[in-house]
Amino acid sequence: MKLLSRFSLLALSAALLFSACGGTDDNTAPDTGRITLNATATYGSLPLVMFDQNYDYEDGMQFQMQLFQTYLSDIELVYMENGAEMTEPLLDVALAEFGDIYTIADAEAGIEVVKTDVPARNYTALRFGVGVSPALNATVPPDYEVTHPLGQNYWEDANSYIFFKFEGNADLDGSGGFQDKLTFHVGGDNNYNSIEFTGAIDIAPDGEAVLNLNFDMEKLLIRSNGDYVDFRQVRQAHSNTAPAAVFMGENMPNALSLTR
Amino acid sequence: MARSAHISALAYALLLSLVLGSCGGELSVPVDGQGSALEAPAHFVKLPREVTEQATVAKADLGKRLFFDPILSADSTVSCGSCHLPELAFTDGKAIAVGIAGRRGQRNAPTLANLAWAGDGLFWDGRSPGLEAQVSDPIHNPNELGSDWATVISRLRGQADYQKAFRSAFGASALIDSSLVKEALAQYQRALISAESKYDRAMRGEAVLTASEARGKHIFFDSSAELPDGECGHCHTPPLFTDQTYMNNGVQEQSGSFEYADAGRGGHTGIRFDNGRFRVPSLRNIALTAPYMHDGRFATLEEVVAHYNRGGHPGPNVDPKIRPLGLSASEQADLVAFLKTLTDTAFVEYHSRSKNTLQ
């Protein structure tokens, strides 16, 4: 299991600190359990690995990956209390990087996004955003330390973080050459997607729930109606408004699945 | 990007130190009174608290003295400053660095500007985890200083003025050892902050780029629909003008699948996908740091831009952003003009003068 970032550790430390200090009126700490959110990436049913795997694409094309990374924002659990919807924040932002996933074993193990203690409850949903939330996207790298996830990946000219990157090499003519470069960088508030997976996430005292969030590159690139990003027509998009960037931004929710 | 607090405390401190330096004062490192000797410019990402809290002027001053003292080399002929000259933005103008007895090293001497922010490895291959740890590498490298810690420490302990300087920096009971030498040298290098180029002033609205520089900036950052994309800003991201990653930029021709004459990052990690990758260098002061690339193969910025315009040699792990760019001759000149706006004259002049005010 790859550690996502030092930020996760900070979040965990903060959660532990607050849980240690946050007693109730009768001075009894709430029972806690542990939640772990992992992220994996696939191309259809194939684990997504960099370099070594050829992925069959539309119309006879193939490609190899070199990088996939994405921000996740405002990760929280949802629960009901006295008929009202409540949330349990897990992490404000994380950068999930798959660029050093070289083996199927690493791809299947995935990346640890967050692992933290939370009050034991019967939660009803996981909620998060893909990209950088508008509030955080209004900040800039100088607001953060160099090791913070938002200390990098910023477009000054677009006033936005780069929400996700998809990079690789394509073979457009079946020659096996993989000489055509693919670089799709997508950002901008218009490409931010709020996601909610509903369903029971029960965390018992001292218990643990493990969730796995998967990004399917096939569904990111190809819509259910058959529309797809045609690498013969477009191989670079670095903006929040380029048609290919918007296509992928709109498709991102379709590319996600959650298993418990 | 919000730029309301453009003149940082650091800038004021630098100006103060320049004034004091011109008057024969002893300040050699920006300092803000009783606080940390190290502070990030307002438009830079913040430095970790543990980095700023360690920094003192006394340690950095001692580090500067050690940096320029050939006592660290086996034959007392070469110092750190022999390959990292302030007037060349802490490079040496050579394709490959040269150490004691004229021995040729392995790679080009990189700039040392803004290493306070360095993370995930130093050297072209990232083999060292940090500024303190990396000191042992040139000390021991037979093609650089060619010495050993026992010799270095013995010599330093034998000089009363060094004993006094170490006590001044590290406390009355300080005994000179390798850890203190490493810390002092690291503190000096962390103080080498370059953030006042024409580019910085233009971003604050205090300078105006020429038409050519402005076109070059658009090409660099892919920010104009009317101009071709140079794809530079993806990896050379401001304000550091490096994203501190490792990339294969197609300068080497493959000798086999993932095989290169210099494996670079792969030589350290042992991962074949890292072969041919090198640490993305900062482009700050790039006009002063020729020749270019890990092996100094390009003598001029024009040659560098021409390389990227051609798209480099093919290879399975050549970064996808390395591709034929289609820049015209004038557009290539525009890009070079922009790169020259990254020169921080105050930084170079201050540190060139500062090395001559050793205590």
> Is B44–A142 a contact, with Cβ atoms under 8 angstroms apart?
yes
CA–CA–CA angle A17, A23, A29 (5° rounding):
90
Q: Which residue has the tokens 């803000």?
A: B32
> Is B320–A146 a contact, with Cβ atoms under 8 angstroms apart?
no
Q: B2 vs chain A: nearest CA distance in angstroms?
A: 7
| Nearest residue in chain B measured CA to CA from A242 | B225
Averaged pLDDT, B176-182: 98
> Is A183–B46 a contact, with Cβ atoms under 8 angstroms apart?
no
Whole-angstrom distance, CA of residue A199 vs CA of residue A98: 27
Q: With 90 as the cut, is the pLDDT of residue B33 above it? A: no
pLDDT for residue B358: 60
Cite the annotated binding site of B for heme c by residue number: 80, 83-84, 232, 235-236
Q: In which residue ranges of chain A is pLDDT below 70?
A: 1-30
Rounded mean pLDDT of chain B?
90
* Token pair for A139: 């900040």
> Is A142–B119 a contact, with Cβ atoms under 8 angstroms apart?
no
In chain B, positions 241-270, which contact chain A (CB-CB < 8 Å)? 243
pLDDT for residue A30: 66
> Is A146–B46 a contact, with Cβ atoms under 8 angstroms apart?
yes
Q: Which residues of A touch B221 (CB under 8 A)?
A: 156-157
Q: Is B354 helix (H, G, I), strand (E, B) or coil?
A: helix
> Is B237–A152 a contact, with Cβ atoms under 8 angstroms apart?
yes
Q: Each residue of B54-82: pLDDT tens digit?
A: 899 999 999 999 999 999 999 999 999 99
For residue B270, give every residue at least 6 positions away whose Cβ sits within 8 Å of its Cβ, in sequence order, or none.
Answer: none
Contact indicator for B251, B260 with CB cutoff of 8 Å:
no
Phi then psi for B269, rounded to 5 degrees? -85, -25
Helix (H) or strand (E) holding A185: strand A180-187
pLDDT for residue B54: 87
**Residue in A181, A184, A240 to test binding to B, most B beta-carbons within 10 Å:** A181
pLDDT for residue B355: 80
Residue B36: pLDDT band (50, 70, 90) is low
Residues of A with CB under 8 A from a CB of B: 50-51, 64, 66-67, 102, 140-148, 151-154, 156-157, 159, 167-169, 178-179, 181-183, 185, 236, 238
Question: Which among B234, B273, B316 has CB closest to A178?
Answer: B316
pLDDT for residue B236: 97
Residue B22: pLDDT band (50, 70, 90) is very low
> Is B237–A154 a contact, with Cβ atoms under 8 angstroms apart?
yes
Question: Which among B42, B117, B271 has CB closest to A146?
Answer: B117
> Is B238–A152 a contact, with Cβ atoms under 8 angstroms apart?
no
User: What percentage of chain B exceeds 90 in pLDDT?
Assistant: 84
User: What percentage of chain B exceeds 70 in pLDDT?
Assistant: 89
Of A139-143, A174-178, B124-128, B149-153, the range with the lowest mean pLDDT is A174-178
Q: Which residues of A touch B238 (CB under 8 A)?
A: 156
Question: Which among B1, B273, B314 has CB closest to A156?
Answer: B1
Q: Which residues of A touch B45 (CB under 8 A)?
A: 141-142, 144-146, 148, 151-152
Q: With 80 as the cut, is the pLDDT of residue B121 above it? A: yes
> Is A156–B222 a contact, with Cβ atoms under 8 angstroms apart?
no
Closest CA to A146 of B297, B155, B312, B130: B130
Where would I find the H helices in B265-300?
Answer: 265-269
Q: A48 vs chain B: nearest CA distance in angstroms?
A: 15
Contact indicator for B266, B238 with CB cutoff of 8 Å:
no
**Residue in B7, B38, B45 to test binding to A, most A beta-carbons within 10 Å:** B45
Whole-angstrom distance, CA of residue A197 vs CA of residue A195: 7
> Is A156–B47 a contact, with Cβ atoms under 8 angstroms apart?
no
- Going from the C-alpha of B187 to that of each of A35, B62, B358, the distances in angstroms are 41, 9, 16
Residue B97: pLDDT band (50, 70, 90) is very high
Whole-angstrom distance, CA of residue B353 vs CA of residue A143: 33
User: B200 at the A interface (CB within 8 A)?
Assistant: no
Question: Which among A50, A148, A183 has CB closest to B273?
Answer: A50
Task: Domains for chain B: give ranges and CATH numbers.
Answer: 9-194+346-357 (1.10.760.10), 198-343 (1.10.760.10)
Q: A99 vs chain B: nearest CA distance in angstroms?
A: 11
- Going from the C-alpha of B146 to that of each of B76, B112, B126, B162, B165, the distances in angstroms are 10, 21, 21, 21, 24
Q: Each residue of B282-337: pLDDT tens digit?
A: 999 999 999 999 999 999 999 999 999 999 999 999 999 999 999 999 999 999 99
Question: Which among B119, B222, B320 has CB closest to A66?
Answer: B320
> Is B40–A64 a contact, with Cβ atoms under 8 angstroms apart?
no
Task: Quickly count helices (H) and strands (E) in chain B.
Answer: 15, 2
| Nearest residue in chain B measured CA to CA from A179 | B314
Averaged pLDDT, B15-29: 34
Q: At what angle do helices B301-310 and B329-340 cross, to 10 degrees?
A: 130
CA–CA–CA angle B176, B179, B169 (5° rounding):
55
Q: Which residue has the tokens 């390959």?
A: B83
> Is A140–B2 a contact, with Cβ atoms under 8 angstroms apart?
yes
Q: Please give the ipTM for the structure prediction.
A: 0.85
Number of A:B CB contacts under 8 A?
Answer: 75
Q: Each residue of A63-89: pLDDT tens digit?
A: 999 999 999 999 999 999 999 999 999
